[in-house]
Amino acid sequence: MKKTLVIVLMAMLAAMLFAGGASEAKPEASANVRTVEFWHTMSGVNATAIEKIATSFNETIGKEKGIVVKAVFQGNDNSEKLKTLAQANDFKNFPDCAQIAGAGIPSAYTYEQLVTVEEMLGASNTTLDINDIEPNMLRSYNYAGEQIGMPVSCSALLLYYNEDMLKEAGIDNPPSTIAELAEDCEKLKIVNEKGEVERYGLNVAIRRYQMANYIGSQGDYNFFGDNEGGRLAPMTKVTFGEDGTLRNFLTEWEKVIKSGGYKPTEDDINEEFALGIHAMVNMSSARIGKIKALVGDNFKWNVAPNPKVNADDKGGVAVGGSCVVMFNPDKDDEQVAATWEFVQYMVSPEVQFQFHKDTGYIPVNKKVYEQPGIDEWFSKNPAYKVAVDAIHASNPNVQEPFDIINWEIDSIIKNHMVAFAEGRETLDQCHDGIVNECNEKLAAYHKANN
Amino acid sequence: MANQLRKRKVMKYVEPLLYLLPAIIFFLVFTYYPFIKTFIGSFFLVDSMGNFKHFVGLENFIRVLKDSNFHRVCKNTFIYTILCAPVSILIALILALIANKPTRSSRVYETMFALTMAMSMSVAAMIFKLAYNPTIGALNYILGTKINWLNNDKWAMIAISIISTWMNIGYNFLFLLAAIRGIDGSILESASIDGAKIFRKTVSIIMPLISPTLFFLVITSMAKDMMMSSLALIFTNSGAIATTANVDTMISYMYKQAVNNLNYNDGYATAIIAFAITFILMLISFRFEKKGVYYN
Amino acid sequence: MKQIQNKRISRRTTISLVHQTLAILLGLVIIAPIIYALLISFMPANQILKRPPTFIPKKWILDNYKMAITSTTLGRFMINSLIMALTSSIMRVIISSMAAYALSFYKFKGRNFIFMLIMGTMMIPGDVVLVSNYQTVAKLGLINTYLGMMIIFFCNATNIFLMRQYFLTFSLTLKEAAVIDGCSNLRFFLQILMPLSTPVITTVFISSFISVWNQYLWPMLVTNENLMRTVQVGVTMLNFPDGVVYGPVMAASILVLLPTLLVFIIFQKRIVGGIMGGSVKG
């Protein structure tokens, strides 16, 4: 019995090793081929999609020009890994380019090995017209007036809603403001005789990402902190306290909380929405594909632009997602040119259209909308159109902040917003807590780094 | 002659050190050197690149010790340690008593009892994340409860502790089983003739005999639990637990400060304080070794 | 007379049978989370989302496993993890038995100090020394090498402590007798002590194997190539960035569990046969 078990397990292992060994294709190495190392952070289907870009590059332009891109998964936070390398002064192990989130731009900016997109625009092998790239996505990775990174995967915060449930509750249009959202929450919630909520109107945990959207969207646009939310120079304090936008948001949000149909923590938000536990959820457009797969034909659902804080707000949404930054670790200009070749390829209309279809990220290149098949694609996938339109309708100044200590800010906001929603903090306590703690932490950072 | 004697004397001193040398080198290079750097750093103002700027004395410590976040993570760490180590050892002890006598199928259940030892943190976290889900997870369904395990102030730390308690059962079981099996059969036999009840037999005869193993397990689990960070990091960073203050431990807090926030000032000071607390606990335990542990 | 004896025997067997059944049932409870993962790994995606949850797959499918194997190179990761875990475990056995030998069979000045120094490392969390160790390993030029991935795991205080506890149960007279017989200290260590200590060696080996196999952060930090990744990283590669896809992740978890399971089943007799914490006479 034991022997059979061991043999069976061995056999399974061997089968796996074989399967794994066989599928590992090594890029051919030859004398005149340059290898460009590209660190990405994508996993699951997105990883397949981004590796597909590298492969197709290698088979076309790469083959022609003797460039081989090696795409390497590096966990979900490249900025952190680059930081560790930089602290160890280990620049020789830097990649040629890396995918990072916007929050990593300020630290990337300090590495002298960084090659900005701005510097490359005048390069001899530049074929890209920077004006083709969406302006708000460019601004996401722009620091002190200089274009640092090239946007590759972008998304927008949306309101997902269960069409069937809304209809059943007599709601014709999805809410466009937080006040409406609160009313609808009240209508949509289902409470059983024991007083337990069986169906929530809305599920979302307000974190830094959501907060950046709700703060940024107010008025024409609004900044999260000083120096345009850290985009001109390092952000030294948050400004949403003094300009009243946080209080606006909290006042409106309190209505949602009081509706009794709001769940302030996220467990498995995608799955729970698909199960009909929440009528609405507030999350990134990057999840459209996931929700589509989970819901299947069980019910009709759609997405709507993120609700406004005040009815007359015009800001729109902040761009989420990531960009690619380039490095020149070996002081080799030809290597940089090869890397630039690949970066330009990544944002070309054809590639971006395919990447959008594979992952649901919003195309960064405006020319994508001239691609054949685009109309058909959007008519089959209307949810993506909503996301694209939301970005197009937004002011480029609405951005996630370059707050340097983004993790800390995130946890401050998250903790206070949950406490507020659960009644452990009043509006004032929540407001002052967020403002003061953010400012204290920012001050502590600047004290240590000036 | 005298020369040879001296040589022998020197050898007598040097020889054990030679055996210790590899261990000492590795510990010095990969543990103490970075630790001492951290220790020194905790008295300095440190920038985000890890450069020491200037001496600030105890300022970092005072700030951390006054910080209510730090009080919270201390409390969490103690709760976690108090919940995990004893419960896991107790369960393992019961299992070891059950499995003590070899039977035809003992191989089967011994393996099952020990299996949790093979689990990795990331895998266990994934399984429990699904099991804890209030609606589609297995746990509420089986228990007939409606607890939001991960996002309830009271339950979050308990939920985390359950995972690690479970993971440690296998390891503790193996050690305790071996210890119990190692007890001279005639001692137990004579106890049975005396008509000693199972419980009394356990407490008065088995416990002292397995005390070195118990001591080993208590010491190592305590140190491990006081230093726990991975589960707290996995669950809070993925957003599965919204109120991070509910489950952050001293070390996960330190990790976030130093690695995520580049705040080495709070990070280093927290690390040193955590070390000091654990060190004191260990000293107390080793005091106890002299009294309560019997080596033959 | 004979009947009574038979009765007694059959009563004994019944009790033993009940005992065994209960023990196995209890065992199933203990490994319930693993069984749960196993069942989920064969479930179609839409069934995982059933409310209330169901446990037996309506249709047993292999899609999750296919996805786990094809979307990452899990096989290659397994080889890497195997190399890393095996080498580290062997190194740990060598280094810790030597250290424990010195700590338990020699009396010398500063012994307690060194022992406390070693035990002290248990209280220094790996997270604290992470960045600094990266610098050291980078300076040694070990980035992207197997050695770099495992060097920090070569030495472990728990293992030394465990070995010491074991060695302490041998009386010092054993060594004195051997030395009088003309046996050198080294020979005593290699030819008498070590063979007598196979149980504890097995234990140290197995526990090291498992703990190194399960390492995540460090191996990822010091390698920059897909070909150098370990299985634990492989499992996270299957995670969708915005929420877990439970099916393939559970499948990968089960696959990653296989080698440790194998080690367990092969060595089980030895481990259980004698960790012998400290209560056995030498």
Domain boundaries, chain B: 68-292
Q: Please name the residue that has the structure tokens 């795991």.
A: C153
Cα angle, residue B242 at apex, residues B241 and B245 outer, rounded to 5°:
90
- Is a pLDDT exceeding 80 seen at residue C18? yes
Q: Answer with the residue of higher pLDDT: A13 or B145.
A: B145
Q: Are A308 and A345 members of one domain?
A: no
- pLDDT winner (highest mean) among A122-126, A357-361, A427-431: A427-431
- Tens digit of pLDDT for each residue in C25-69? 999 999 999 999 999 999 988 788 777 888 889 889 888 888 877
- Is a pLDDT exceeding 50 seen at residue A22? no
- pLDDT winner (highest mean) among A46-55, A338-347, B92-101, C153-162: A338-347
Q: What's the whole-number mean pLDDT along residues B87-104?
A: 89
Check B178 against C274: CB less than 8 A apart.
yes
- Is a pLDDT exceeding 90 seen at residue A27? no
Q: Is residue A1 part of a domain?
A: no
Phi first, then psi: what are they for A142, rounded to 5°?
A: -105, 130
Query: CA of A95: which chain C residue's CA is closest?
Result: C224
Q: Are A428 and A280 members of one domain?
A: yes
Query: Over chain B, what is the mean pLDDT?
Result: 85
Strand partners, A100: A323
End-to-end CA distance of chain A: 68
Q: Is residue A390 part of a domain?
A: no
Distance from CA of C30 to the nearest CA of B (A): 6
- Contact at 8 Å (CB) between A281 and A154? no
Q: Are A163 and A234 members of one domain?
A: yes
For A346, other C-beta atoms within 10 Å of its C-beta total: 24
Check C277 against B271: CB less than 8 A apart.
no
Candidates C49, C130, C262; nearest CB to A275: C49
User: What pLDDT is stored for residue A310 in this prediction?
Assistant: 94
A363: which DSSP letter? P
Q: Are A161 and A151 members of one domain?
A: no
Residue A123's SS3 state is: coil
Closest by CA position to A135, among listed A366, A351, A350: A366
Query: CA of A42: which chain C residue's CA is closest?
Result: C241
CATH code, A73: 3.40.190.10
Domain range enclosing A120: 26-155+320-371
User: What pLDDT is stored for residue C281 in this prediction?
Assistant: 33
Distance from CA of A73 to the nearest CA of C (A): 7
Q: Which pairs with CB-CB distance under 8 Å and at least 24 residues apart come from B125-129?
A: B125/B163, B125/B231, B125/B234, B125/B235, B126/C235, B126/C244, B126/C246, B126/C249, B126/C250, B126/C253, B127/C33, B127/C34, B127/C36, B127/C37, B127/C250, B127/C253, B128/B159, B128/B162, B128/B163, B128/C33, B129/A268, B129/B235, B129/B240, B129/C244
Q: Are A298 and A348 members of one domain?
A: no
User: What pLDDT is stored for residue A335 in this prediction?
Assistant: 93
Q: What's the whole-number mean pLDDT along residues A39-61?
A: 90
Q: Is the peptide bond before C52 cis (omega within 30 degrees of 0)?
A: yes
Q: What's the whole-number mean pLDDT along residues A137-164?
A: 94
Instruction: Compute the Cα dihedral for A335, A340, A345, A346 and give only its sign.
Output: positive
Q: Are A204 and A337 members of one domain?
A: no
Which token pair is A303? 């997405």
Residue ranges of alpha helices (H) inside B57-151 are 59-66, 68-99, 106-114, 121-132, 138-143
Q: Are A359 and A286 members of one domain?
A: no
Q: How confident is the model at residue A20 (pLDDT cuts 50, 70, 90)?
A: very low
Q: Is the domain C71-278 a CATH 1.10.3720.10 member?
A: yes
Pairing of strands A97-101, A301-305: unpaired
A235–B contact, CB cutoff 8 A? no
Query: What ipTM score was computed for the predicted complex, to two decimals?
Result: 0.84
Residues 76-135, chain B: which have Cβ within 8 Å of C?
95, 98-99, 101, 103-124, 126-131, 135
- Is a pLDDT exceeding 60 seen at residue A176? yes
Q: Can you tell me the distance from the alpha carbon of A409 to that of A411, in angstroms, rounded to the nearest whole number? A: 6
- Contact at 8 Å (CB) between A331 and A22? no
Q: Are A301 and A199 members of one domain?
A: yes
Q: Can you tell me the distance from the alpha carbon of A45 to that of C73, in angstroms, rounded to the nearest whole number? A: 14
Residue A295, exposed/middle/buried by CB under 10 A (0-12, 13-18, 19+)?
A: buried
Question: Which chains lie within 8 Å of chain A at 3 or more CB pairs, if any?
Answer: B, C
End-to-end CA distance of chain B: 39
Q: Is residue A392 part of a domain?
A: no
Of B149-158, C87-96, C170-179, the least confident: C170-179
User: What pLDDT is stored for residue B295 in this prediction?
Assistant: 61
The count of structural domains within chain A is 2
DSSP string, A27-87: PP--TTPEEEEEEE---HHHHHHHHHHHHHHHHTHHHHHTEEEEEEEBTB-HHHHHHHHHH
User: What pLDDT is stored for residue C84 in this prediction?
Assistant: 92
Model pTM? 0.83
Residues 6+ apart with CB under 8 A from B217: B89, B172, B175, B176
Cα angle, residue C133 at apex, residues C132 and C139 outer, rounded to 5°:
95
- Tens digit of pLDDT for each residue in A322-348? 999 999 988 899 999 999 999 999 999
- Tens digit of pLDDT for each residue in B194-204? 555 666 777 77
User: What pLDDT is stored for residue A1 in this prediction?
Assistant: 56
- The torsion of the CA quartet B9, B10, B16, B18, rounded to 10 degrees, works out to -160
Cα angle, residue C96 at apex, residues B218 and B82 outer, rounded to 5°:
15
User: What pLDDT is stored for residue C277 in this prediction?
Assistant: 41
Choosing from A371, A390, A410, the residue where a domain stops is A371
- Tens digit of pLDDT for each residue in B218-245? 888 888 899 888 888 888 877 777 777 7
Domain assignments of chain C as residue spans, ordered by start: 2-40, 71-278
Residues 171-210, chain B: which have Cβ within 8 Å of C?
171, 174-179, 181-184, 209-210
Q: Is residue A104 part of a domain?
A: yes
Q: How confident is the model at residue C280 (pLDDT cuts 50, 70, 90)?
A: very low
Q: Are A208 and A272 members of one domain?
A: yes
Query: Over chain C, what is the mean pLDDT?
Result: 82
Closest by CA position to A97, among listed A141, A32, A130: A141
Q: Is residue A307 part of a domain?
A: yes
Question: Which chains lie within 8 Å of chain B at 3 or more CB pairs, if any?
Answer: A, C
Q: Are A133 and A180 members of one domain?
A: no
User: What pLDDT is stored for residue C276 in this prediction?
Assistant: 47
Q: Are A70 and A128 members of one domain?
A: yes
Q: Can you tell me the distance from the alpha carbon of A141 to that of B215, in angstroms, rounded to the nearest whole number? A: 56
Q: Are A151 and A62 members of one domain?
A: yes
Q: Is residue A20 part of a domain?
A: no
Phi first, then psi: what are they for C240, rounded to 5°?
A: -75, 140
Q: Name the percent of chain A lying above pLDDT 90.
A: 70
Q: Is the domain B68-292 a CATH 3.90.320.10 member?
A: no
